[in-house]
Amino acid sequence: MTVASTSREVLAINGGSPVRNTLLPYGHHSISEDDIQAVVETLRSDWLTTGPKVAEFEEAVAAWVGTKHAVSFSSGTAALHAAAFAAGLKFGDEAITSPMTFAATANCLLHQGATPVFADVSSDTLNLDPDLASARLTSRTKAILPVDYAGHPADLDSILQLAERHGLIVIEDACHALGAEYRGRRVGSIAHMTVFSFHPVKHLTTGEGGMVTTDNPEFSETLRRFRNHGISSNARQRQMLGQWHYEMVLLGFNYRLTDIACALGLQQLARLEVNLARRRQIAAQYTAAFQKLPGVLRPQVRSDVNPAWHLYPIRLELKKFSAGRSEVFRALRAENIGVNVHYIPVHRHPYYRDRFGYRGGEYPVAEAAYECLVSLPMFHGMSDQDVEDVIAAVKKVCSAYSDDCEVPGD
């Protein structure tokens, strides 16, 4: 509920009235009655896991993105781990990835005994810079893991060309980018393997869940075995064949996604186009509202892509403000706008600093971006009033922290 929208009012953090009475989170799931009914029907069925809904969901996702195979997992993190395994990464190998991501992107390499090698990002999109990635190649490099930061596809053609020249596998971390398009192609149909997440703040949710899409049948078979303890068949297959015998052919994990989750995912997939359209509409409203707002840099979009807008990360030109990013962040939270920050660069986490000796300064573009990033609320369930509240709060805080800030539209 909106309380005030006048940008020159006293900030809530200083005792003024907040823009909203209740907190608007940066992300939130949307569940319909049809979703609930589909889950209930599955709960009443014979299969709660390894059943028919799993295959149905996988086939639907593969068809939607335009690829031959889709393999579901219990989380996006599990899907990343499985993709690293299917790529054959092992102790002594290296893989190049972006520091501007959630830690799971790099962690999946460590789980395989491989070493994540970071390359800095492009200043416009904050995606992996292909030229800088090329400079990090060694004889031990076996894969490249670009990240579609905030839902904007990485420079996939350049990365795939680099990979082809050096015999590398490209695992695209598209956990932000379900529904994004790159040069007329849907993400999920381009890289050797593409990983999606179905966490509640994503474009569709299964509660927790993930998927790997690929055109490679060998990758697909390995992925299916890896998620099922390394066993070459599943319980439903054995029941249908009337047999009990199974064989473990590789060392895997229990990374299966349940039929319950897949039933929810199927219902959500039917609304994905609508969800994407709403996110793009919200992004367009933000972009227009902040076009001339001093001190606020909007996300940049390259001409050959259509982002999925998992996040809407603005960057603050802090030299134009009398406050730092932390103060701006707290002021927006006090206005009941649930901003967030994405991400602390992976190499700056204590584990990576201690293990690999990072001290800061190694990846200046990612590190400089981190110091001024703020993610605004972005989810398809936002109302028009929610969007207006975010815009009002950003303008209000901008005005309060900048004497020269002239807020357009007031």
Q: What is the DSSP track for 100-136?
A: SS-THHHHHHHHTT-EEEE--B-TTT-SB-HHHHHHT
Task: Specify the pLDDT at position 407.
Answer: 46
Instruction: Tell me if 388 sits within 8 A of 5, measured CB to CB.
Output: yes
Report d(CA 196, CA 176) in Å as an integer: 7
The closest of 298, 301, 281, 296 to 384, measured between CA atoms, is: 281
Q: What is the pLDDT of residues 261-271, one digit of tens each?
A: 999 999 999 99
Separation of CA 137 from chain center: 25
Task: Specify the pLDDT at position 189.
Answer: 98
Report d(CA 239, CA 236) in Å as an integer: 5
Question: Which positions of the chain have pLDDT values less than 70?
Answer: 1-8, 238, 403-410
How, if at all, do strands 210-214 and 193-197 pair? antiparallel
Q: Which domains can be identified in the chain, with CATH numbers?
A: 12-28+272-401 (3.90.1150.10), 33-269 (3.40.640.10)
Give the tokens for residue 357. 């000796």
Q: Which residue has the tokens 């990835």?
A: 97
Told to judge if 202 belongs to the known catalytic residues of this protein, a careful annotator would answer: yes
Helices (H) and strands (E) in the chain, counts: 14, 13
Q: From residue 43, how far is each of 140, 264, 270 by CA, in Å?
A: 48, 11, 20
- Active site residue: 68, 90, 142, 202, which one? 202
Whole-prediction pTM:
0.95
For residue 303, the tally of other CB atoms under 10 A from its CB is 5
Report d(CA 135, CA 248) in Å as an integer: 40
Report d(CA 297, CA 292) in Å as an integer: 9
CA torsion 353-354-355-358 (nearest 10°) is 30
Residue 203 gets which letter from DSSP?
S
CA torsion 358-362-365-368 (nearest 10°) is 60
Give the tokens for residue 45. 């069925």
Instruction: Tell me if 134 sits within 8 A of 106, measured CB to CB.
Output: no
Task: Specify the pLDDT at position 133.
Answer: 98
